[in-house]
Amino acid sequence: MSEIIQLHDKKFIKYIPSQEIDKAVSEVAEQLNRDYCSDPPLILVTLNGAIVFAADLLKQLQFSSVLSCIKLSSYKGTHATDTMKTLIGLNEDVSGKRVLIIEDIVDTGKTYQTLVDLLNEKGAKEIRIATLTLKPDAYNLDLPVHYVGIRIPNKFVVGRGLDYDGLGRNLNDIYQLVN
């Protein structure tokens, strides 16, 4: 595949190769196996983006766990908006349970904060997050980000679950927007 791709009206250049992503996923899985082997959490996957990271991660987990999904959206095109929409709600009882949120990306943290508020309201005992990518320069919350695959600059990226208006999730590598 070419180093530069086009999705809709934007061009992206290969930024993180799949081998580096696979290594990061394995490192996160090792941490999760260590931290959750004796008391597995309910795993809450954020759709649609985290589905690829979750699939890669789940294959490497050495504990059994209930899996659920939730779908929130705050993006329009390449920018986060101030409006958080719940497209598919939480269907599991989290009261008194440990919950591990699986995310594809944490940038501003708005989705993460929304989920923490919801899970706290529903009585979760503990809430942690594992994310494939984190944009430290964009993240401005006091909530800890417990498990991070790869830290990236505050640039728009696609691939490995991340998209631009629905396209690019299936790319095995991560691509960065060309300015």
Query: Mind listing the pLDDT tens digit for each residue in 139-151?
Result: 999 999 999 999 9
How confident is the model over 87-106, as a mean pLDDT?
90
Catalytic, 107? Answer yes
How confident is the model over 125-150, as a mean pLDDT?
97
Q: Listing from the earlier edge strand, what are the strands of the sheet with 10-16?
A: 4-7, 10-16, 174-177, 157-158
| Confidence tier at 72 by pLDDT (50, 70, 90) | confident
Residue 48: cis peptide before it, omega within 30 degrees of 0: yes
Which domains are seen in the chain, by residue range? 20-152 (3.40.50.2020)
What pLDDT does residue 62 have? 97
How confident is the model over 122-145, as a mean pLDDT?
97
Whether the pLDDT of residue 87 is over 60: the answer is no
> Strands 79-88, 67-76: parallel, antiparallel or unpaired by DSSP?
antiparallel
- DSSP 8-state secondary structure symbol assigned to residue 162: B
What pLDDT does residue 68 have? 95
Predicted model pTM: 0.91
Percent of the chain with pLDDT over 70: 90
| Confidence tier at 90 by pLDDT (50, 70, 90) | confident
Q: Positive or negative CA dihedral for 146, 119, 143, 75?
A: positive
Alpha carbons within 13 angstroms on the beta-carbon side of residue 28 total 30
How confident is the model over 45-59, as a mean pLDDT?
96
Whether the pLDDT of residue 79 is over 70: the answer is no
Active-site annotation holder among 107, 117, 165, 173: 107
Percent of the chain with pLDDT over 90: 84
How confident is the model over 161-176, as a mean pLDDT?
96
CB–CB of 177/157 below 8 Å?
Answer: yes
Whether the pLDDT of residue 82 is over 70: the answer is no
